[in-house]
């Protein structure tokens, strides 16, 4: 099925399945049923089967799913069979935390460029990388052919940064800035704002 025909809510659950399967594989398990997987994730077995049916048939009735096979197929569907370079814009506290976050390793992503517009930070080291001037985003990101970026800048700077990334050829942006940015068709933005999630939870308190 073409990617555009798969509901976004289905795509959003695939990484959850992949993460769970990766943990199960590390534990040495070989087979799991949709019922068992659903119990671990809090998702109904019928929903799991329906989600996976968008991409083919991966299990056998009465047997379940081969964990390693399904994990590999999900990595292929999500296009993370090889490690992808990521540009990080913003070398503040959040940017540093993301740089030192160990969860990217082995899951298809690697931060390989860091940018900031603060003259006192440009040229300094952050982890193994030299912090580059944000003015050079278009040239350097385009030259490296990087298509994924993380934006960790203040809200007032986010749109300008996103515009530069789009001009450099970036097609996927993870935006931590607490603002909705405008992008052309064909560029996908995912938003992460902890306050939004906290406000959603306080509704239930």
Q: What are the domain boundaries of the chain? A: 3-77, 84-197
Query: Tens digits of per-residue pLDDT, 14-33?
Result: 999 999 999 999 898 899 99
Domains 3-77 and 84-197 share a fold: no
| Per-residue pLDDT at 169 | 97
- Flag whether pLDDT at 113 surpasses 80: yes
Which are the contacts of 188, defined by CB distance < 8 A and separation ≥ 6?
Answer: 171, 172, 173
E strands of the chain, at which residues? 31-32, 59-60, 64-66, 84-89, 109-116, 125-126, 129-130, 132-133, 148-151, 172-175, 188-191
- Flag whether pLDDT at 13 surpasses 60: yes
Assigned fold of 3-77: Arc Repressor Mutant, subunit A (1.10.10)
Average pLDDT over residues 84-101: 92
User: Tell me: domain 84-197, CATH 3.40.50.720, correct?
Assistant: yes
Query: Tens digits of per-residue pLDDT, 157-201?
Result: 999 999 999 999 999 999 999 999 999 999 999 999 888 889 989
The Cα 5–Cα 46 span in angstroms is 20
Confidence of residue 100 (pLDDT cuts 50, 70, 90): confident
Average pLDDT, the chain: 91
């Amino acid at each position: 099925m073409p990617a555009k025909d798969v509901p976004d809510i289905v795509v959003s659950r695939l990484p959850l399945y992949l993460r769970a399967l990766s943990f199960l594989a590390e534990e040495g398990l070989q087979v799991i049923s949709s019922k068992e997987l659903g119990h671990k994730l809090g998702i109904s077995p019928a929903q799991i089967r329906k989600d996976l049916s968008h991409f083919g048939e991966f299990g056998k009735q009465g047997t379940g799913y081969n964990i390693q096979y399904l994990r590999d197929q999900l990595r292929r569907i999500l296009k993370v069979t090889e490690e992808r370079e990521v540009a990080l814009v913003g070398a503040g506290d959040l940017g540093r935390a993301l740089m030192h976050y160990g969860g990217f390793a082995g899951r298809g992503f690697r931060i390989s460029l860091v940018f900031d517009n603060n003259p006192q930070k440009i040229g300094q080291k952050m982890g193994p990388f030299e912090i580059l001037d944000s003015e050079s985003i278009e040239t350097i990101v385009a030259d490296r052919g990087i298509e994924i970026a993380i934006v960790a800048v203040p809200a007032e700077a986010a749109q300008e940064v996103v515009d530069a990334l789009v001009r450099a050829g970036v097609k996927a942006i993870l935006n931590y800035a607490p603002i909705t940015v405008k992008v052309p068709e064909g560029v996908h933005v995912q938003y992460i704002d902890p306050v939004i999630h906290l406000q959603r939870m306080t509704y239930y308190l």
